[in-house]
Structure 1
Amino acid sequence: MALGLTAALALSGCNKDSTADANGNGTPDAQETAQGLTVAGEWPLTGEPAKGKTPRHPVMIVKIDNTASSSPQQGLGRADLITEELVEGGSTRLAVFFYKHVPNRVGPVRSMRATDIGIVKPAKAVLVASGGAPPTVRRIKDAGITSFTEGATGYSRDTSRSAPYNLFMDLKKLSHQVKAKDRVDSYLPFGSAKDLPKGQPAKGLAATFSGGHTTNWTFAGGKYTNQNSFAASGDQFRPDNVLVLRVRVGDAGYKDPAGNPVPETKFTGSGSAMLFHGGRVVRGTWKKSLDSTVSLSTRAGKLPVPAGHTWVELVPQSGGNVTITK
């Protein structure tokens, strides 16, 4: 099921201003709506039904810290999709996707990694990160990815926090500066939950990235809850699906300021996959090239991801582990 962005033959009038919640987060307003484009079918990051005009801005992916120092993270509750990746020191970092909703404040924003190339390109997204090591910045640029680092429109420092965990981005401001240029294909192979194989009971899971970090999930009320979340109260991302992809991890070729080797997740090739939905788990395999979307399959055929919000865990094949709670 694909999202089509089709040219409209004629447009007239404009949308009313968006309604926003207490945090200034709302649906796209007239200034954020593409002229001459309509959404047909589904939102590309959730597979949910879509009507009307597509946002005029591209998908925006923000790199957000995922350690205790990031607490409280802000903006996660308005995200469409989140990917968790391994970084140096055994910690993880989040690549948070925003498209349907554009929060005023997200962060704390941290630096980019070469891993982000395989995450960002399939969404034709722009990358919002504090900066990056010179080798990584060059690779991101050579990959044709537009990045917005500290100093760009929307960035600010929160003086009540300590650096480097005090950098935040006003995505609404940035969205007025960047225009969508390309059609956005469905990021995952979305489908109907009724077409999902039965699988096995799974009340939760533990995704281990390293000896120092495990992300624990529990299922209740139709949603998954991250037991390790550093998000602000009421701003947690509670997905309908947790998709675990076992990936190869190599060496990025440089060290962080503390002397830790920087890992690089290879979000290409193939590997085993586990799709958690509705308190059950279905096992399969995944396949992906650097700039293509992910394909999922079982021995019986294609594996659809039920429409809704998804958290993608890029768990290392070596040194990582996944434990299922039955």
Structure 2
Amino acid sequence: MGTRTRTRRMTVAAVAAVAALALAPGCTLSKTDGGDGNVPGGSGGRVLAVKIDNVGPARPQTGLDAADVVYAEQVEAGLSRLMAVYAGRLPPVIGPVRSARETDLELLRQFDDPALAFSGAQSKLLPLISTAPLRPLSPGKAPGNAYFRGSGKPAPHNLFVRPKALDADPGAGGLQSTGFRFGPRPKGGTPERERTVRFPAARFTFTWAPEQKRWLVSMDGARARTSDGKTLGASTVVVQYVKVRESRFHDRSGNNTPFTETIGSGKARVLRDGRAYDARWERTSPQDGTEFTTADGGEQLPFAKGQVWVVFAKA
């Protein structure tokens, strides 16, 4: 059975369950409530994706703690960049905002009419962005008050966006198409306190904090915090092993832009509730989400409710 068929059946079942619960006497559902095994929120909905700078001068970032999903991908010279996906609440400001990459276009195909906030892109990539099934919201295509330059960081690490000014209209149901499923901790797994993922010139470390019931994030050896002092942490961390290859694009210094292949299948490591699970991932087409199953029995592997970090590690 393919991912699309499995996802469709689970979505139909989820909609039916939500409808039944909503009709039960005395039961109500908020936009962020979701039953076990289902993505929080109802069916449908859009997301706002924001490309966020992640080099030293760009930190600490703003608004990253409000994201539903944070994708960490490799860019030129082995550095990292983040794509934060918002389907629930929008913070007042997000940033620093940086440029898009070809990897983002394939990754965003799984969402229904997603909006992408980014600072720009190299000239050869712009035609691909303009024809991709998304709403590009760079400074030149957004309302005049949406983007602004902050005074606390040097350029180009000082571009921020007011997401509500973008009229992106995200909804909690926008995450339905990711393929993620949320629910109680599954059996098995092994106790894990810390996990580090290394890029050629960047690294991410996730440390389990039992009192907070989340994985605290460190980047390049320093604990990650937002500009207002909040510690970044994830309820679920996915280390997804993928093929990272050269693309046809380069930066101004001549460094090749890596392309991360998110369609296909492979191994993964899922961290939740202080435990680590060996997993398999599968995404059969650009329109499909990514399904995560247990490595031994092929059963759906549920995530813990809360923010999800997906780090694309080279297989």
Using the size of structure 2 for normalisation, the TM-score is 0.80
Q: Report what 1:301 is aligned to.
A: 298
> How many angstroms apart in 2 are the aligned matches of 1:163 and 1:134?
20
Which residue identity lines up with residue 128 of structure 1 in the other structure? A
Which residue identity lines up with residue 197 of structure 2 in the other structure? A
Q: Report what 1:128 is aligned to.
A: 117
Is the 2:182–2:305 Cα contact (8 Å) retained in structure 1? yes
Q: Secondary structure at the match of 2:288?
A: coil
Which residue identity lines up with residue 160 of structure 2 in the other structure? F
Q: Secondary structure at the match of 1:264?
A: strand
> How many angstroms apart in 2 are the aligned matches of 1:102 and 1:91?
27
Is the 1:106–1:168 Cα contact (8 Å) retained in structure 2? yes
2:79 to 84, 91, 100: 91
The unaligned stretches of length 5 or more in structure 1 are 9-37, 318-326
Is the 1:76–1:235 Cα contact (8 Å) retained in structure 2? no
> Are positions 1:290 and 2:286 aligned together?
yes
> How many angstroms apart in 2 are the aligned matches of 1:65 and 1:279?
29
Give the number of equivalent residue pairs: 276
Q: Sort the Cα spacing of 1:215 and 1:171 in 2 relative to 1 into closer, same or farther, 3 A.
A: same
Identity in percent? 28
> How many angstroms apart in 2 are the aligned matches of 1:86 and 1:236?
23
Report matched runs for 1:64-79 at 5 Å: 64-79=52-67
CA offsets per residue over residues 104-143 of structure 1, 9 Å max, x none? 1110000000110232221222111001012322222332
> Are positions 1:63 and 2:38 aligned together?
no
Q: Sort the Cα spacing of 1:120 and 1:54 in 2 relative to 1 into closer, same or farther, 3 A.
A: closer
Report matched runs for 1:1-326 at 5 Å: 2=11, 4=15, 42=34, 47-48=39-40, 50=41, 58-124=46-112, 125-151=114-140, 152-153=142-143, 154-175=146-167, 178-179=168-169, 184=174, 185-194=176-185, 196-210=186-200, 212-220=201-209, 221=211, 222-228=213-219, 229=224, 231-288=226-283, 289-298=285-294, 299-302=296-299, 303-317=301-315
> How many angstroms apart in 2 are the aligned matches of 1:264 and 1:67?
19
Would you identify which runs of 4 or more consecutive aligned residues in structure 1 move more than 4 Å?
38-41
Shift of 1:159: 3.5
> How many angstroms apart in 1 are the aligned matches of 2:195 and 2:271?
9
Shift of 1:83: 0.6
The unaligned stretches of length 5 or more in structure 2 are 1-9, 20-29
Is the 2:188–2:277 Cα contact (8 Å) retained in structure 1? yes
Q: Sort the Cα spacing of 1:77 and 1:260 in 2 relative to 1 into closer, same or farther, 3 A.
A: same
* Larger CA deviation: 247-256 vs 86-95: 247-256
Shift of 1:291: 2.3
Higher strand share: 1
Using the size of structure 1 for normalisation, the TM-score is 0.77
Which residue identity lines up with residue 76 of structure 1 in the other structure? L
> How many angstroms apart in 2 are the aligned matches of 1:200 and 1:118?
33
> How many angstroms apart in 2 are the aligned matches of 1:4 and 1:39?
14
Q: Sort the Cα spacing of 1:91 and 1:231 in 2 relative to 1 into closer, same or farther, 3 A.
A: farther
Shift of 1:41: 6.4
Higher helix share: 2
Which residue identity lines up with residue 245 of structure 2 in the other structure? G
